[in-house]
Amino acid sequence: MALDFNADEIFEMAEQIERNGAIFYRKAADTVTGGEKDFLLELAKMEDDHEVTFKSLRKELSGAMKESSTFDPDDMAPQYLKALADTRVFFEKDLDTSTMKEILKAAITAEKDSIVFYLGMKELVPEKLGKTKIDDIIKEEMSHIRLLSARLVKTK
C-alpha cells in the first residue's frame, strides 16, 4: 500500500520541526554567554519566524493540496506526523555543547538532516497535492545552513 502525503501535512511537520529547532537553540544558548548566547537566541527566533512563515504558506495552499489520499478511519495521521517530525530533526541526542564550535556543528547537522528529510518527503507528495510547495521549506532551511556555516568559519 502506497502512502502519499500532501503539502499541508508536510507543512504541518515543518512547523513541528521549527518548534523543535527553537527549543534546541534556546537550550544551547543556556550553555554559553555574551555574543554567542545572543546569536543562538537569534537563531531560535528565526525558527519561530519560520514556523509562522510555514503556517502562512500552509494557509495559501489550495484545497487539493490539503486533501488526504490516505485511509485513516481512526484519525491517527496527525499523531504519526508529529512523531515523525519529532524524531527526524533536532531529535534529543547527546550533543556536545561545551563549545560554540560544537553547538554550530550540531546545528548544521540538524539543518542538513531537515533538508534530507524534506527531500525524501517531497517524493511522497504527488504533484496534484503540492509537491513543488515543499521547495519553499527547503529554501528556508538552506538559508540557516549558510548562516551557521559562516558563523562556524568565524569561530575557528
The residue that leads in pLDDT, 36 or 7, is 36
Q: CATH number for the domain including 147?
A: 1.20.1260.10
Q: What is the pLDDT of residue 78?
A: 61
Cβ-contact 152, 139 below 8 angstroms: no
Indicate the pTM of the whole model: 0.76
Residue at 149 is within a domain: yes
Mean pLDDT, the chain, rounded, equals 79
Domain membership of residue 1 (yes or no) is: no
Region 8-12: mean pLDDT is: 79
Q: How far apart are CA 141 and CA 136, in angstroms?
A: 9
pLDDT of residue 2: 47
Q: In whole angstroms, how large is the CA radius of gyration of the chain?
A: 16
Q: Which domain holds residue 27?
A: 7-60+76-81+97-155
**pLDDT-derived band of residue 39, with 50, 70 and 90 as boundaries?**
very high
Mean pLDDT along residues 52-72: 72
Query: Which whole-number Å values give the CA distances from 24 to 48, 68, 72, 106, 123, in the listed order?
Result: 12, 31, 32, 10, 27
Q: Is the pLDDT of residue 81 over 80?
A: no
Amino acid 61: pLDDT: 73
* SS3 assignment, position 93: coil
Percent of the chain, pLDDT > 70? 74
